[in-house]
Amino acid sequence: MLHRESGVFKTSYAADMALYPLPIARWAVAAVILLFAVVLPLTLHEYYLSIINLSLIAVVGALGLNILVGYTGQISVGHAAFMSVGAYTAANLAVHLHLPFWVTLPAGGLMAALIGAIVGIPSLRIKGLYLAIATLAGQLIIEWVINHTPAISGGAQASIEVPRPTFMGYEMKTQGQLYFFLLFFAALATLATLNLVRSRIGRAFVAIRDQDIAAEIIGINIFRYKLLSFAISSFYAGVCGVLYTYYFGIANYEAFQIGVSIDYLAMIIIGGLGSVLGSILGAIFVTMLPIAIRLVMEPLGGLFFNAGELSSVIASTRLVLFGCLIIFFLVVEPEGLNRLWRNIRNYFRVWPFSY
């Protein structure tokens, strides 16, 4: 493989302090940026961009949930409800006050952070499954409040249509245009998380996860950091909800029900708890796998069934295959796709001289 650490000699302090000391790492980062910013949008059909767009939104939400569940060790089954808080905050601001997305997006995130911190208060006393049930209550209460408060939901349909996001007079509405809009925020969320988990706050989160009493003894304010974790995680969820709102052009709480919370938990468990790359891989996996299964099964199944029968067969077998693949990946590597990727990388790092 190209990933060679030997033979890299640093001759200056600047080289020693560089963010990416290996040339291969610099090239890889440049290649990834080139791929996402230029190659993919230029070469892919709009349809494939739409799948990537859905994955990008999911990445933001999964990163947020991983901060709470993976890094701080607090469980939340109310993630989707925080998305709806962000979605309705942004939609109301965009429609009633005509604010642009660069105001409504952080506003939605901040409102979700506030609500998230409130829902997180029980985490100071209870842990594990008990906390899961407490956050589940949060999910149901938020859903109910939105559904029954016309001032928030905008009427019986509980949906608020928002205008497309515009930036310097440029309206983003096709999948290609929305791709850059979503890519920017997904990249920002990834960078922010990478830096957060390496900061004092991130270290405190990990200390709380590993042993909260020990963390308290070494001087970490548990009250502050647990609520901060809920707030930051909910901020991501809120932003994710705002992105969904701008992507669909409508805020509708039915898109953020309990099942969505479970989907996001599945993403981070499959991807790998407590890892940024894992959140990204998990979000992509859960979003794209059902689509991939269908794309493979359509030509294959066409050999055996006619169109009407095929749709029924695909719909049912897809669920079975999806479940089986999740079990398969978790059995092969319980620590998730992130660990799987690291194992592969470490193998090739010393290949072919693995001894």
Residues 100 and 163: beta-carbon distance below 8 Å: no
Give least dist CB 159 to another protein, A. 5
Q: Which residues pair with 128 in a beta bridge?
A: none
Give least dist CB 322 to another protein, A. 10
Of 118 and 255, nearer to another protein (C-beta) is 255
Sign of CA dihedral 231, 283, 258, 185: positive
Give least dist CB 46 to another protein, A. 6
> Can you spell out the DSSP letters for 318-340?
HHHHHHHHHHHHHHH-TT-HHHH
Q: Which residues pair with 252 in a beta bridge?
A: 159
Work out which of 21, 23, 249, 323 binds another protein, going by CB under 8 A.
249
Site map (CB under 8 A) of another protein, residues 162-191, x = contact: --x--------xxx----------------
Give least dist CB 317 to another protein, A. 10
Per CB under 8 A, 54 contacts another protein: yes
Per CB under 8 A, 214 contacts another protein: no
> First-to-last CA distance in the chain?
16
Site map (CB under 8 A) of another protein, residues 7-46, x = contact: --------------------------------------xx
Per CB under 8 A, 139 contacts another protein: no
Work out which of 69, 93, 314, 337 binds another protein, going by CB under 8 A.
314
Alpha carbon distances (Å) from 230 to 77, 94, 112, 216, 324: 12, 26, 10, 18, 32
Work out which of 7, 219, 259, 299 binds another protein, going by CB under 8 A.
259
For residue 299, give the amino acid letter. Answer: P
Of 135 and 287, nearer to another protein (C-beta) is 287
DSSP state of 35: I
Site map (CB under 8 A) of another protein, residues 270-309, x = contact: -----------------x--xx--x-----------xxx-
H or E element, residue 252: strand 250-252
Of 190 and 257, nearer to another protein (C-beta) is 257
Sign of CA dihedral 273, 276, 279, 281: negative
Q: Tell the residue number behind the tokens 């767009």, with chain if given.
A: 53
Work out which of 9, 13, 47, 170 binds another protein, going by CB under 8 A.
47
H or E element, residue 237: helix 222-248
CA distance 4 to 22: 8
How many helices (H) does the chain have, and how many strands (E)?
Answer: 16, 4
Sites of contact with another protein (CB under 8 A): 45-47, 50-51, 54, 57-58, 144, 147, 155-159, 161, 164, 173-175, 244, 247-250, 252, 254-255, 257, 259-260, 287, 290-291, 294, 306-308, 311-312, 314-316, 318-319
